[in-house]
C-alpha cells in the first residue's frame, strides 16, 4: 500500500488559520454583518507565529482568524436572523422604489428584532465572570451616555446608556463599594469592589459635544459594542439590585425616558436630573432588612503560614470597614461653581448627605442656612458670607480623603489655599521598577524632605557663605600682625637652644627602634579591592550566567530584559522632567523675591 501524499498547508498553521475573505465565503455574510457577529460573539483576529505558513504561502499581511472560531460561528442562530433582516431590507427597498408605501409600513411593523440574551449567557456563564469583564463595558456606556443624537448612533442607545449607568451608580452607593478615585485630564477614574472583584472605569468630564470634521472614529463599530454591553449591563444591574434587596428597575425621573424630544435636547436639564436622581435612595423590597455587615475574617492554615500576610489582611479589612462609614452623619453643601456629579456620587457612597442651591438645580434636600452642615465645598478664593459652624474646603479634599481612607486635616485645603499635588492611588505595589514622586515618598517616609522644604535652608546657607567671604576679604588689624611676628621670633630662639639635646635623644631612640624591629613579628598587609575592577568582574560573571539560559527560554528572557530597560528609561525621563520643573519653579521664586526686594527698597527710598 502506497501512503497518500499530504497536500501542502493541510496541517499545522496552514490549517489552523483562515483569512477574512475565506471566512466571509464560508459564512456567506457581508463584511458589515461579519464584523457585527464577531463583536457580539467576542471573536477577534489572531497573530500567527509564522505568517507565511498561516497565509498558505501568500505574501503581504492579511487579517487571520482561527478556523475553529469560524466553524463555531456556523452554528450561531443569529446568522439566520441576519439573513432574515437582509431579506426585509431588500423588500423595503423594493417597496420604496415602486412607491408602495402601505407595504413598506407593514414591513417596518414586522421588522424582526435581534435578541442577544443567549450570547451574554454563553460568554458569561456566572455572575463573577460578567463582573470581571465590566471595565470596558462601563467606560464605553458612560461615554455614550454623554452623546447627543448622532448619524451612526441610535438615539435609543444613548438614552439606555444614561439609564443603565445611573442604575449602576445607585447600586455602588447602596453597596458602599467605592474604593479609589482619581481626577485626570481624561475624566474621573473610579474603582469599586463588588463580589470580591475589582472594577475600574472612567467617567468623562461633561463638556458640550463638538462634532468632528473628519471620520476618525468608526461610530458604527462602537455602536455594535454598545449593543452588546447594554444587554450585559442590564443583566448585571438586575443581579446587583436583587442581591442588595432593592427594587429593579428603580423609578427615575422623566429625563431617562425617550418619550419626549425636549428631555433629550436639553442637556443641562438631563445632567441636573441625573444628579438629583443620585441624591435619592432607591426603593427596597417589601419585608427586606438592612444588608448585614461582613463577619470577622476567618483564619485558615495556609501552606506558608505567614503571620505577616494574615495581619496585613486583617488591617486591610479594618481600613475598608472604616472607609465605608467615613462621611457617616456629615452634611455637605456644594457651591454652584463646583462640578457636582462626582462629589455627590463619592459622598453618598460613604454615608454622607449632600445638597446644593435649590434655586439653580433640582434635587436639593436642605438649604445653605442649615446650621448642621459640617463642610461647604467651594472653588473660589473668598466668600462674602461665611458660617462659623462649618469648614470651607476645596473639592480636592474629598478625593484625597477617600484615597487616604481617613478625613485629612483641612489646613492645606482651605478656601483660597494652594493645594498639594493630587496623587494617583492606582500604583502597583508588586512592581519593583515604579517611579514614585517626591510627594508620595514624603508621605511614605516621614524623614524624607521635599526640595521645597529645603529651599529656605539653602538660601540661608548661601547668605551665611556670602558673609564668611566678606569677613575674609576684610583687612587685618596691624597691631595684631606685630604681636604674631614677635611670638614667632621668640619661639625660634628657644628652639635653637634645645636642638643639641634633641639630637642626642633621637640617636638613642633610633637604636632602640632598630633592635625592636629585628625581634618583632611583622603584620600582614590587607588587600584593598579595586571597585572598578570588581564591577568589571561582576559584569563578566553575569554574562556567563546569561549564556547558561536554555534556548527555549532565551526569547522570554530577552523580552523581560527589554521591559526592564524600558521601565528604567521611563523612570529616568520622569525624574528628569520633575527636576527641570523644580528648577524652573525655584528660578521663578527667586525672580519674584528679587522683584519684591526691589519694590521694598524703592518704597523705603521714597
* Tens digits of residue pLDDT in 514-557: 777 777 776 777 778 888 899 999 999 999 999 999 988 999 99
User: Mean pLDDT across the stretch 67-74?
Assistant: 92
pLDDT at 292 over 60: no
Asked if pLDDT for residue 147 goes beyond 60, the answer is yes
The DSSP bridge pattern shows strands 375-377 and 391-393 to be: parallel
Task: Note the residue count of the chain.
Answer: 606
Could you tell me if 448 and 442 are in contact, meaning their C-beta atoms sit under 8 angstroms apart? yes
CB atoms within 10 A of CB 140: 20
**Residue 490, pLDDT above cutoff 80:** no
The set of cell numbers assigned to 585 is 519653579
Cell 461653581, located at residue: 337
- The sheet with strand 197-204 has its strands ordered as 178-183, 187-194, 197-204
Q: What is the mean pLDDT of residues 75-95?
A: 89
Report DSSP state, residue 50. Answer: S
Is the per-residue pLDDT at 451 higher than 90?
A: no
Going by the DSSP 8-state scheme, the letter that residue 303 receives in this structure is: S
H/E stretch holding 331 reads strand 331-334
Give 19: exposed, middle or buried? Use CB within 10 Å, 0-12, 13-18, 19+: middle
The DSSP H or E segment spanning 560 is helix 554-605
Query: In this prediction, what percent of the chain has a pLDDT beyond 90?
Result: 31
Q: What pLDDT, on a 0 to 100 scale, did the predictor assign at position 394?
A: 92
Question: DSSP assignment, residue 2?
Answer: P
State yes or no: pLDDT of 102 exceeds 70.
yes
pLDDT tens string 209-255: 666 666 677 888 888 999 999 999 999 999 999 998 888 888 876 55
Residue position matching grid coordinates 503571620 = 307
Question: How many other CB atoms are there within 10 angstroms of residue 178's CB atom?
Answer: 21
Instruction: Measure Cα distances from 347 to 63, 343, 374, 398, 407 in Å.
Output: 48, 6, 13, 8, 12
Beta-strand ranges (E) seen in 148-246 are 178-183, 187-194, 197-204
Count each helix (H run) and each strand (E run) in the chain, helices first.
22, 9
Confidence tier at 504 by pLDDT (50, 70, 90): low
Which range has the worst mean pLDDT, 158-167, 291-300, 540-549, 586-595?
Answer: 291-300
Residues 389-402: tens digit of each pLDDT: 889 999 999 999 99
Q: What angle do CA 267, 273, 278 make, to 5 degrees?
A: 130
Residue pair 208/197 in contact by the 8 Å Cβ criterion: no
Q: What pLDDT, on the 0 to 100 scale, is given for residue 193? A: 92
Please report, rounded to a whole number, the percentage of residues in the chain having pLDDT higher than 70: 81
Residue 147: HSE in the Cβ half-sphere, 13 Å Cα cutoff: 24
29-48 pLDDT, tens digit per residue, is 899 999 999 999 999 999 99
User: What is the pairing mode between strands 331-334 and 375-377?
Assistant: parallel
Greatest Cα-to-Cα distance within the chain, rounded to the nearest angstrom: 140
| Start-end of H helices in 530-553 | 531-547
Domains for the chain: give ranges and CATH numbers.
13-109 (no CATH), 117-206+218-278 (no CATH), 314-426 (3.40.50.10190), 431-460+538-606 (no CATH)
What Å distances lie between residue 7 and 59, 65, 297, 479, CA to CA?
20, 21, 62, 113
Amino acid at each position: 500500500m502506497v501512503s497518500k501524499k499530504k497536500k501542502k498547508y493541510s496541517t499545522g498553521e496552514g490549517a489552523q488559520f483562515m483569512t477574512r475573505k475565506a471566512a466571509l465565503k464560508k459564512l456567506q455574510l457581508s463584511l458589515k454583518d461579519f464584523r457585527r457577529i464577531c463583536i457580539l460573539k467576542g471573536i477577534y483576529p489572531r497573530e500567527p507565529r509564522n505568517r507565511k505558513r498561516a497565509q498558505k504561502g501568500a505574501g503581504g499581511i492579511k487579517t487571520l482568524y482561527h478556523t475553529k472560531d469560524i466553524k463555531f460561528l456556523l452554528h450561531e442562530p443569529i446568522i439566520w436572523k441576519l439573513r432574515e433582516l437582509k431579506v426585509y431590507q431588500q423588500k423595503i427597498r423594493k417597496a420604496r422604489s415602486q412607491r408602495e408605501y402601505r407595504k413598506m409600513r407593514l414591513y417596518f411593523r414586522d421588522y424582526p428584532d435581534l435578541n442577544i440574551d443567549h450570547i451574554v449567557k454563553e460568554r458569561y456563564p456566572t455572575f463573577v465572570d460578567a463582573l470581571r469583564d465590566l471595565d470596558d463595558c462601563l467606560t464605553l456606556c458612560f461615554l455614550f451616555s454623554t452623546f447627543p443624537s448622532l448619524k451612526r448612533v441610535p438615539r435609543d442607545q444613548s438614552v439606555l446608556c444614561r439609564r443603565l449607568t445611573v442604575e449602576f451608580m445607585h447600586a455602588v452607593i447602596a453597596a458602599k463599594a467605592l474604593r479609589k478615585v482619581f481626577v485626570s485630564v481624561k475624566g474621573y477614574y473610579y474603582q469599586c469592589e463588588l463580589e470580591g472583584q475589582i472594577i475600574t472605569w472612567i467617567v468623562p468630564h461633561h463638556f458640550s459635544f463638538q462634532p468632528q470634521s473628519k471620520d476618525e472614529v468608526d461610530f458604527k463599530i462602537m455602536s455594535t459594542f454598545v449593543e452588546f454591553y447594554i444587554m450585559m449591563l442590564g443583566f448585571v444591574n438586575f443581579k446587583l439590585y436583587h442581591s442588595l434587596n432593592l427594587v429593579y428597575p428603580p423609578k427615575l425621573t422623566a429625563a431617562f425616558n425617550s418619550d419626549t424630544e425636549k428631555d433629550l435636547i436639553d442637556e443641562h436639564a438631563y445632567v441636573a436630573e441625573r444628579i438629583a436622581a443620585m441624591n435619592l435612595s432607591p426603593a427596597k423590597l417589601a419585608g427586606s432588612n438592612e444588608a448585614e455587615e461582613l463577619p470577622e475574617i476567618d483564619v485558615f492554615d495556609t501552606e506558608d503560614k505567614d503571620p505577616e500576610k494574615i495581619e496585613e489582611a486583617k488591617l486591610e479589612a479594618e481600613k475598608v470597614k472604616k472607609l465605608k462609614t467615613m462621611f457617616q452623619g456629615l452634611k455637605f453643601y456644594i457651591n454652584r461653581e463646583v462640578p457636582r456629579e462626582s462629589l455627590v456620587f463619592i459622598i453618598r457612597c460613604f454615608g454622607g448627605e449632600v445638597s446644593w442651591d435649590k434655586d439653580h438645580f433640582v434635587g436639593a434636600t436642605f438649604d445653605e442656612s442649615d446650621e448642621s452642615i459640617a463642610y461647604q465645598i467651594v472653588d473660589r478664593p473668598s466668600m462674602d458670607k461665611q458660617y462659623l459652624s462649618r469648614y470651607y474646603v476645596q473639592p480636592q479634599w474629598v478625593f484625597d480623603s477617600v484615597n487616604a481612607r481617613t478625613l485629612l486635616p483641612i489646613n492645606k485645603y482651605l478656601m483660597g489655599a494652594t493645594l498639594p499635588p493630587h496623587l494617583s492611588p492606582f500604583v502597583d505595589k508588586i512592581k519593583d521598577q515604579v517611579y514614585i514622586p517626591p510627594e508620595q515618598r514624603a508621605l511614605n517616609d516621614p524623614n524624607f524632605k521635599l526640595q521645597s522644604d529645603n529651599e529656605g535652608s539653602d538660601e540661608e546657607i548661601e547668605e551665611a557663605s556670602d558673609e564668611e567671604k566678606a569677613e575674609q576679604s576684610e583687612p587685618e588689624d596691624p597691631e595684631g600682625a606685630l604681636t604674631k611676628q614677635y611670638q614667632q621670633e621668640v619661639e625660634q630662639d628657644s628652639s635653637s637652644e634645645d636642638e643639641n639635646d634633641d639630637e642626642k635623644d633621637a640617636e638613642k631612640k633610633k637604636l632602640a627602634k632598630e633592635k625592636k624591629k629585628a625581634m618583632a613579628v611583622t603584620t600582614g598587609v590587607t588587600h584593598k579591592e579595586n571597585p572598578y575592577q570588581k564591577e568589571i568582574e561582576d559584569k563578566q560573571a553575569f554574562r556567563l550566567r546569561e549564556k547558561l539560559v536554555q534556548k527555549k527560554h532565551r526569547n522570554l528572557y530577552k523580552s523581560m530584559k527589554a521591559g526592564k530597560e524600558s521601565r528604567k528609561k521611563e523612570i529616568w525621563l520622569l525624574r528628569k522632567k520633575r527636576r527641570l520643573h523644580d528648577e524652573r519653579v525655584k528660578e521663578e521664586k527667586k525672580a519674584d523675591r528679587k522683584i519684591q526686594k526691589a519694590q521694598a527698597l524703592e518704597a523705603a527710598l521714597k
